[in-house]
Amino acid sequence: GDSVTQMEGPVTLSEEAFLTINCTYTATGYPSLFWYVQYPGEGLQLLLKATKADDKGSNKGFEATYRKETTSFHLEKGSVQVSDSAVYFCALSWAGGTSYGKLTFGQGTILTVHP
Amino acid sequence: DADVTQTPRNRITKTGKRIMLECSQTKGHDRMYWYRQDPGLGLRLIYYSFDVKDINKGEISDGYSVSRQAQAKFSLSLESAIPNQTALYFCATSDTPEGGSISSYNEQFFGPGTRLTVL
């Protein structure tokens, strides 16, 4: 079945450092890919998405490129802020069969940014 | 007001008790979902409903049941709570692909979560 694997955390960075959170997936066909973010005490909210190969999703300085050849969707940000401290989830959604519209999540990566 | 609300936000209960978690949405979406979140495991789908008359089991439905009372309301029940059901529970909604086409990129909107502790 479909699965998503994220790099293990937690990740601790200083403000203005470069961030990469790795995400790889296994799926039949061509899923859409997402990054969701969960701030402390809140539900998940969509950060960015990409619906086909080579698409780049971007939002709030974060970027991720859909790489079909490496089945990856790594999240990057050039300069993190303390306010970026949160849990980040990679997810996929596939349009096939009985699975369409549902999300499969990775295990989440905790990011802590220090001043 | 929040688009997706969950009640209660926190609940502590004892083993064997029946618990109901409620979710309401004002987004007008047909699709609703229940997930549980456990540390290191991400979110796992318990049940989902694509409309009022369509309810389906997710990957971890054992020990849970649901009721879709209306388009806007989707409740999750634990008939006899056990300690390993201690978790953070999230409700989510999403829109239906336009024109009946199969589209996989509809965003899901999440409620704030219910923290359930079963002693």
Average pLDDT along chain A, 115 residues, taken 10 residues at a time:
86 97 89 92 91 93 96 97 96 67 87 96
Alpha helices in B1-119 (DSSP H): none
Percent of chain B with pLDDT over 70: 91
Residue B104 has pLDDT above 70, yes or no: no
Q: Does residue B42 belong to the interface with chain A, where contact is any CB pair within 8 Å?
A: yes
Please check whether residue B48 is in contact with residue B64, taking contact to mean a CB–CB distance below 8 angstroms: no
- Write the single-letter amino acid at B92: A
Question: Residue B14: pLDDT band by 50, 70, 90 thresholds?
Answer: very high
Cα of A16 to nearest chain B Cα, Å: 27
For residue A99, what are the contacts with CB-CB under 8 A and spacing of at least 6? A2
More confident residue, B98 or A106: A106
Size of interface A-B (CB pairs under 8 A): 65
Cα of B109 to nearest chain A Cα, Å: 7
* Residue-level pLDDT at A68: 92
Residue B32 has pLDDT above 90, yes or no: yes
Cα of B79 to nearest chain A Cα, Å: 25
Cross-chain Cβ contact B42/A46 below 8 Å: no
Mean pLDDT value across residues B6-25: 97
- Compute how many other C-beta atoms are within 10 angstroms of the C-beta atom of residue B27: 13
CA A102 – CA B56 distance, rounded (Å): 11
Instruction: State the best of A21, A51, A93 to mutate against chain B, taking most chain B CBs within 10 Å.
Output: A93
Residues of A whose CB is below 8 A from B97: 101
CA angle B87, A112, A39 (to 5 degrees): 50
* Residue-level pLDDT at A42: 87
* Residue-level pLDDT at A80: 97
Q: Does residue B24 belong to the interface with chain A, where contact is any CB pair within 8 Å?
A: no
Cross-chain Cβ contact A100/B4 below 8 Å: no
Q: Which residues pair with B37 in a beta bridge?
A: B43, B88
Q: Does residue B100 belong to the interface with chain A, where contact is any CB pair within 8 Å?
A: no
Residue B1 has pLDDT above 80, yes or no: no
Please check whether residue B24 is in contact with residue B73, taking contact to mean a CB–CB distance below 8 angstroms: yes
Instruction: State the best of B104, B106, B107 to mutate against chain A, taking most chain A CBs within 10 Å.
Output: B104
Residue B91 has pLDDT above 60, yes or no: yes
Cα of B38 to nearest chain A Cα, Å: 9
